[in-house]
Chain A
């Protein structure tokens, strides 16, 4: 180390709070992009896993599960989309816990940055990963025989709905991550909660084929609403499928939109407040 200290750097360029907020959000997002680049496991996992799921489900179960009025490939894709983006949103939980563990949160908390910036950057990171997964899955799906039977606008709405739902869930997970503070626990718990949630749903088999208790659970399961919404918007609902008695299944798009708004309205403020009072050790 040398004792000569270079000439003073002038302090902050004066900027509006909005510009600062955008700057902070971008810088923390960029940090997560660098992480994706540098820890390629995440990207490999998020691209290979959906490909594997698409191939496994369409080829292994296509012959076993009969979807009247449609093909299994058409039926299953909305389920795989939903499952993948839901799992993709859990990174925010483990990453926030990891940041706390590493101590970097203490650095952020002493900087004059917006208190929501770290969370914005984190959830943006999930959004990006999920977007990449969506592209990969849709491409793989189209190869194995999945078709979009609706207008491009509806298809875009389906994609937006899936990504937004997962984005809102990322905020929930970020809050949980800061509360639980252990990346390992977060990973295990999300597995324990999300696996049943995605499997006891209409994602992989029509809900009406499930035994009664599971069918009831599946019909009220928010993941089922997401799957149903995506299925309808992609035009993948089997022609003769039974109309559900449950309101959320009759109005899946609205249900999902409400779910997104509710999750964001509750967990964005909660997570930001949690962040403003948290410290690593």
Chain B
């Protein structure tokens, strides 16, 4: 049995005067002990609702959820001592200082006065908030507030950690710092469920990824499995001049296995290919023989972005310029993923 288990969770919201929203529609989830599972999904997919159900904040309409065998819905009071939570929106007391916030959380975990103070100080150091610790949170920047909230989740070193978009709004240094903290904790046996909009984050941290859409898991597996599941490699190239776009499209359609996707500026093209190296060679020869100048050309494996866009139905199609644009801007991270 997995450490965190959710079976067939359903939750419907019925806003006044609007049609019902199926936030969770039969969601299943399993997180083994000491591993990281990432929830990926578009806005409104049900990620936050899942986290809220598992952290005792919201009751599902139906379905079951257990953490370490304890029923989340029937015994929330037995769940709370073993979870650390940082929600999508920072849950901090605006009038208390950073230190006082963490101290209060420690006291409410019943760590005792001395331990709570010691722990608050440790976390202030860990999250680089030393200068700000004695100022009321009211005056904190968004990222500082976020860090105090993340620190709040770690106050009693919980065996299970729920992090809803933990690094949204953090600067790159803090984000990498947070990744290191999570990795260290997992190394010590902590079980983590996190949601993220940064696919690189899921790639780096998660042992398993669940892609959710419309309140259901639509795919799951390791990052590599998911990438493999959508198959093939990509040939990418960009033109020097947009005037050659029609010719480029014709060539790529001939040698690729899908319709080429075009970037926003109309000069970048991506196409799937079964045997990418061979396809690339043929394509480059054709471009050379026609004398079409190229700015850049290469191939890459599918990235999590491709997986995400394909699975959640916002697939890049030839005329869907917006989606292709997204694909293009993520080129740097995709190169890293190749290593």
Q: What number of residue pairs across chains A and B have CB atoms under 8 A from each other?
A: 127
- Asked whether, in the complex, the Cβ of A12 is within 8 Å of the Cβ of B110, the reply is yes
| Interface 1/0 per residue, B179-204 and A, CB below 8 Å | 01101110010000000000000000
Tell me how far the C-beta of B44 lies from the nearest C-beta in chain A, rounded to whole angstroms: 13
Is A184 interfacial (CB-CB < 8 Å)?
Answer: no
**With an 8 A cutoff between CB atoms, is A212 at the interface?**
no
**Which of A12, A15, A108 contacts B156, CB < 8 Å?**
A12
Contact between chains at A6 and B96 (CB < 8 Å): no
Chain B: minimal CB distance from A256 (Å): 33
Binds B, one of A31-39, A133-141, A219-227, A234-242: A31-39
Q: Contacts of B176 on A, CB cut-off 8 Å?
A: 1
Q: Which of A13, A112, A280 has the most CB of B within 10 A?
A: A112
Give the size category of B's interface with A.
Answer: 35 or more
Q: How far is the CB of A110 from chain B (nearest CB, A)?
A: 4
**C-alpha spacing A281/B83, complex, angstroms:** 20
Interface string of A154-192 (1 = CB under 8 A from B): 000000000000000000000000000000000000000
Given contacts A12-B109, A24-B108, A31-B96, whether A5 and B185 have CB atoms under 8 Å apart is yes
Tell yes or no: A243 within 8 A of B by CB.
Answer: no
Q: Is B100 an interface residue (CB 8 A)?
A: yes
Q: In the complex, A30 Cα to B180 Cα: how many Å?
A: 35
Contact status B89-A103, CB under 8 Å: yes
Report yes or no: A109 in contact with B57, Cβ–Cβ below 8 A: yes
Contact B157 A9 (CB under 8 A): yes
Q: Is the CB of A279 within 8 A of B177?
A: no
Give residues 213-234 of A contacting B (CB, 8 Å): none
On whether the beta carbons of B177 and A110 are closer than 8 Å, the reply is no
In the complex, B178 has a CB within 8 A of chain A: yes
Give B152's nearest chain A residue, CB to CB.
A107
- Residues in A21-69 with C-beta less than 8 Å from chain B: 23-24, 27, 30-31, 34-35, 38-39
How close is A276's CB to chain B, nearest CB, in angstroms?
A: 8
A24, B111: Cα distance in complex, Å: 12
Pair A103/B91 contact, Cβ less than 8 Å: yes
Contact B177 A112 (CB under 8 A): no
CB within 8 Å for A103 and B111 given contacts A8-B157, A34-B95: no
Q: Is the CB of B177 within 8 A of A1?
A: yes
Q: Hey, what's the 0/1 contact readout for B79-93 against A, CB within 8 Å counting as 1?
A: 011010101111111
Q: Is the CB of B107 within 8 A of A9?
A: no
Min CB distance B304 to A, Å, is 24
Known: A1-B127, A34-B95, A107-B91. A13 touches B177 (CB 8 A): no
- Indicate whether A12 sits within 8 Å of B81 (C-beta atoms), given known contacts A31-B96, A110-B57: yes
Q: How far is the CB of A31 from chain B (nearest CB, A)?
A: 6
Q: Indicate if A2 sits at the interface (CB-CB under 8 A).
A: yes
- Minimal Cβ-Cβ distance residue in A for B159: A11
**Which of A10, A27, A112 makes the CB contact (< 8 A) with B77?**
A112
Q: Check if B122 is an interface residue, CB within 8 A of chain A.
A: yes
Within 8 A of A (CB), among B38-97: 52, 55-59, 77, 80-81, 83, 85, 87-96
Q: Does B136 contact A (CB under 8 A)?
A: yes
**Does B27 interact with chain A (Cβ within 8 Å)?**
no
B125 CB within 8 Å of chain A: yes
Chain B residues closer than 8 Å to A153, beta-carbon distance: none
Cα–Cα distance between A31 and B184 once the two chains are bound (Å): 32
**Any chain A CB within 8 A of the CB of B118?**
yes
Question: CB-CB < 8 A to A109: which residues of B?
Answer: 56-57
Q: Is the CB of B115 within 8 A of A9?
A: yes
| A3-B184, A279-B52 known; A104-B92 Cβ under 8 A | yes
**Is B261 located at the chain interface by the 8 A CB criterion?**
no
What is the bound-complex CA distance between A31 and B94, given in angstroms?
A: 11
Residue from A13, A106, A117 within 8 A of B111 (CB atoms):
A13
Beta-carbon contact of A112 and B95 below 8 Å = no
Q: In the bound complex, do residue B104 and residue A12 qualify as a contact, i.e. CB atoms below 8 Å apart?
A: no
A20 touches B110 (CB 8 A): yes
Chain B residues contacting A143 (CB-CB under 8 Å) are: none
Q: Are B93 and A31 in contact (CB under 8 A)?
A: yes
* Given A1-B174, A15-B110, A112-B81, A106 contacting B91 (CB threshold 8 A): yes
B119 at the interface (CB under 8 A from A): yes
The residues of A that contact B157 with a CB separation of less than 8 Å are 8-9, 11
- Say whether A5 contacts B184, CB under 8 Å: yes
Do residues B110 and A23 form an inter-chain contact, with CB atoms below 8 A? Answer: yes
B7 within 8 A of A: no
B107's partner among A6, A27, A38, A110 (CB-CB below 8 A) is A27
Encode B105-144 as 1/0 by CB contact (under 8 A) with A: 1011111100100110010011110000000100000000
Instruction: Give complex CA distance A9, B180 in Å.
Output: 19
What distance in Å separates the Cβ of A120 from its nearest Cβ neighbour in chain B? 13
Residues from chain B with Cβ under 8 Å of A13 in the complex: 110-112, 115
Is B173 part of the binding interface, using a Cβ–Cβ cutoff of 8 Å? yes
Among A24, A30, A110, A281, the residue within 8 A (CB) of B85 is: A110
Q: How far is the CA of A9 from the CA of B84 in the complex (A)?
A: 14
Interface residues of B (CB under 8 A from A): 52, 55-59, 77, 80-81, 83, 85, 87-96, 100, 104-105, 107-112, 115, 118-119, 122, 125-128, 136, 147, 149, 152, 156-157, 173-174, 176-178, 180-181, 183-185, 188
**A–B Cβ pairs within 8 angstroms, 10 of them:** A1-B126, A1-B147, A6-B126, A9-B115, A11-B111, A11-B157, A12-B81, A107-B92, A111-B109, A112-B110
Given A12-B110, A103-B90, A111-B105, 15 more pairs with CB closer than 8 A: A1-B180, A1-B181, A3-B181, A9-B111, A10-B115, A11-B111, A11-B157, A13-B111, A34-B95, A102-B94, A103-B91, A106-B57, A107-B91, A109-B56, A110-B80
CB-CB nearest 3 A-B residue pairs: A1-B177, A3-B180, A107-B91
